[in-house]
Chain A
Amino acid sequence: MKNADRISAGVIIGISAYFLIETRSFEKFGSFFPVVIAFVLAGFAAALFVASFIRKSEEEKKEKIKLSSVLLIILIIVAWAFFITVIGFLVTCILFFLLVTIAYDRRRRDLRHILIKVGAVGTTVTAFYFFFAKFLLVPFPRGLLF
């Protein structure tokens, strides 16, 4: 965690510096609070940086995770949100919901169970879509399809 703390402290100090630089163009009362907070934040981050050198190394109990699988999940979620305005809300949601359900369920992957999943996902997403669109009158973003 020591290295992670040092990197986090560096990033936070960078963010504080950016906010401080930006405040130079603000009026007095618009800049007062952000300046105070940015200084306080940078101070805490500096303390974290120093503490990472002073503290004794602790036994890490943290579970190990595969970075590639985390990145893949993040990519899927971001792509899901991005394609909503390209393809259309309903179709994108059904496609990505199915993709995750099939790809991440290790238990049953035969054709019958995949078809069951397609049915379950299609019904769930469509039902919620119509509940929002027709009952709550939420206008969804439109893409090439709907």
Chain B
Amino acid sequence: METTLFASFLNVFSPLNLLFVIVGVGSGIVVGALPGLTATMAIAILVPFTFAMAPIHGLVLLGGIYCGAIYGGSFSAILINTPGTPSAIATTFDGYPMARKGDSYKAIVSATISSVIGGLIGVGFLIFLSPPLSKASLKFGPPEFFWLTAFGLTIIATLASKSILKGLIGGAFGLLISTIGIAPIGGDVRFTFGMVSLQGGIGLIPALIGFFCIPEVIIMLVKRGEHYTVLPYRKQKNVVRNIFIHLVKKPILILRSAVIGTVVGIIPGAGGNIAGMVSYNEAVRASRYPHRFGKGHIDGIVASEASNNAEVSGSLIPLLTLGIPGAPPAAVLLGALLLQGMRPGADLFTVHAGVTYTFIFSLILANILILPMGIFSGKMVSKLITNLPAAFLAPFIVFLTIIGSFSINNNIFDVYVMLFFGLLGYVGRRLGFGPGPIVLGIILGAICEQGLVQSILMGRAAGNVLTIFFTRPISIILIVLTISSACWPIIRKAIGGPKAHEKR
């Protein structure tokens, strides 16, 4: 095992892997900084590009993009008060006011250093939690997988949507879509509308590309006249050193934010936006000077950025160990893993241990690279935000989505599927149905159905169907978690006042 770990660590520094990490982080920062382009979208577009690569090269590239894009979102949050990715929403609260005071460089450096530290803490959790969890996953039978998916769905419905009811509808709709194709047990051909291409089910990657990319393109073109006013970005002396000293003096702030980010990341479906907001609220609550938040306080940026970058690794923990994505970008990474023939679970840490650990170690390098790349590319990125026209970017994205969805099976039908879900995603978004719950429903649907039906069969064989669902120890823990997460909005409403950031 030690040999594999050591070899994997060295493998990160092979010239090709190093190149892919640098390219991934660099392009991730650019994508994340551009409003409207999210980490999920970047990974969704690039997944098909990686299928001709060796698994490790593809994963290293996508991991670099994921880390870079989540950090990159802070640029536009600070410079134009528009989060480049949803994860950077909380960064706008203090980042933009700070930039308005003329301290945009200080704000970016704070975001950069806290992102790096938060990201590294997150990877630490990933390294130490994943192997035991993957071993525990061997104890998961059909009932446990059923309850795990139920838990994931309640979380996404309660946390990731503005309206709980619409989140639940989205999740259920995704589950229903997942039933299209041949039934996993029984072999019925279901809901194919007479189309042979649908017998294999809805392609996960075309659906993901459609849901996450096409609505953005439409919005981008509708707002074609919109131009952003970027606040000036000027370098100042000794800022990096001063910020670093400031952070060293506040280890609890950064550690708490990173732990919140990791935990939120582990919860299936909850993304960086939630991590950032929760962490920001906790920073306000714990601070001796809460009135300073929202007016350009450095701790606000630190809390948000350390948390959302730690969430990246956190979201990979349930993905790599159980096959349940912790966040939307991780859901797309699941597609990349499956495309390479790698099934998440214990196999990843035994059969494919070399690839998996190289991927995990590459995240350390990706987070470290954010420091120089973020600080030195600031000027260029700020120019890019103003100068890159949507009229070029939008058709370029459409072009990539067409290539991406076609190249998976060399089938034009996948392009039509991608477009259908893209348009559905746009209409849904206008009506208040976010893509997150639907996509999670599609991903979890097959696992949920197989778990449910197999459990019923097991129960029948044992003589009691209910016992199999409600008496196994891991199932009981998952049931408690599911009920807690389903009831959480009601409890929060009953006990909680307004959130800290709303008090500002």
Interface residues of A (CB under 8 A from B): 1, 4-5, 8, 12, 15-16, 19, 22-23, 26-34, 36-38, 40-41, 44-45, 47-48, 51, 65-66, 69-70, 73-74, 77-78, 80-81, 84-85, 93, 96-97, 100-107, 117, 120-121, 124-125, 128, 132, 135-141
Majority-rule SS of A interface residues: helix
Q: Which of B165, B185, B396, B416 contacts A48 (CB 8 A)?
A: B165
Q: Are A73 and B222 in contact (CB under 8 A)?
A: yes
Q: Are B218 and A26 in contact (CB under 8 A)?
A: no
Contact with A along B197-211 (1 / 0, CB 8 A): 000000000000000
Q: Which of B217, B410, B412, B430 contacts A84 (CB 8 A)?
A: B412
- Chain A residue nearest to B169 in the complex (CB): A44
Contact with A along B154-198 (1 / 0, CB 8 A): 000000000001101100110110010001011110110000000
Q: Which residues of B contact A27 (CB under 8 A)?
A: 183, 186-188
Expressed in whole angstroms, the Cα–Cα distance for A38 and B176 within the complex equals 7
Q: Which residues of A contact B191 (CB under 8 A)?
A: 19, 22, 34
Q: Which of B392, B400, B406 contacts A105 (CB 8 A)?
A: B392
Q: Which has the most chain A C-beta neighbours within 10 Å: B166, B187, B396?
A: B396
- Chain A residue nearest to B446 in the complex (CB): A33
The contact sample of 20 A-B pairs, CB cut-off 8 A, is A1-B431, A4-B432, A5-B431, A15-B176, A16-B176, A22-B190, A29-B183, A33-B452, A34-B179, A80-B402, A84-B415, A85-B412, A97-B396, A100-B395, A101-B392, A107-B389, A124-B396, A128-B403, A132-B403, A136-B407
Q: Which has the most chain B C-beta neighbours within 10 Å: A15, A22, A34?
A: A34
Expressed in whole angstroms, the Cα–Cα distance for A102 and B248 within the complex equals 51
Q: Which residues of A contact B222 (CB under 8 A)?
A: 65-66, 69-70, 73
- Chain B residue nearest to A104 in the complex (CB): B391
Question: A48-B165, A70-B218 known; A93 and B399 CB under 8 Å?
Answer: yes
A43 to chain B, nearest CB (A): 9
Judged by a CB distance under 8 angstroms, whether B18 is at the interface is no
Q: Are B185 and A30 in contact (CB under 8 A)?
A: yes
Q: Are A33 and B453 in contact (CB under 8 A)?
A: yes
Q: Which residues of B contact A12 (CB under 8 A)?
A: 169, 173
Q: Are B395 and A81 in contact (CB under 8 A)?
A: no
Q: Are B190 and A34 in contact (CB under 8 A)?
A: yes
Q: Which residues of A contact B431 (CB under 8 A)?
A: 1, 4-5, 8
Q: Which of B176, B416, B432 contacts A1 (CB 8 A)?
A: B432
Q: Are A78 and B419 in contact (CB under 8 A)?
A: yes
Interface residues of B (CB under 8 A from A): 49, 52, 165-166, 168-169, 172-173, 175-176, 179, 183, 185-188, 190-191, 214, 217-218, 221-222, 224-225, 389-392, 394-396, 398-400, 402-403, 406-407, 410, 412, 415-416, 419, 422-423, 426, 430-433, 448-449, 452-453, 456-457
B480 to chain A, nearest CB (A): 21
Q: Which residues of B contact A93 (CB under 8 A)?
A: 399, 402
Q: Which residues of A contact B217 (CB under 8 A)?
A: 73, 77
Expressed in whole angstroms, the Cα–Cα distance for A15 and B403 within the complex equals 31
Q: Are B169 and A30 in contact (CB under 8 A)?
A: no
Q: Which has the most chain B C-beta neighbours within 10 Å: A37, A70, A128?
A: A37
Question: A19-B176, A44-B165 known; A81 and B221 CB under 8 Å?
Answer: no
Q: Which residues of A contact B176 (CB under 8 A)?
A: 15-16, 19, 34, 37-38, 41
Q: Are A105 and B407 in contact (CB under 8 A)?
A: no
A86 to chain B, nearest CB (A): 11
Expressed in whole angstroms, the Cα–Cα distance for A32 and B400 within the complex equals 39
CB-CB nearest 8 A-B residue pairs: A30-B188, A105-B391, A30-B183, A30-B186, A104-B391, A100-B395, A29-B186, A41-B172
Q: Which residues of B contact A80 (CB under 8 A)?
A: 398, 402
Expressed in whole angstroms, the Cα–Cα distance for A29 and B454 within the complex equals 10
A57 to chain B, nearest CB (A): 15
Q: Are B392 and A120 in contact (CB under 8 A)?
A: yes
- Chain B residue nearest to A107 in the complex (CB): B389
Expressed in whole angstroms, the Cα–Cα distance for A135 and B202 within the complex equals 28
Q: Which residues of B contact A140 (CB under 8 A)?
A: 406
- Chain B residue nearest to A35 in the complex (CB): B179
Q: Are B52 and A137 in contact (CB under 8 A)?
A: yes
Q: Which of B49, B186, B415, B456 contacts A26 (CB 8 A)?
A: B186
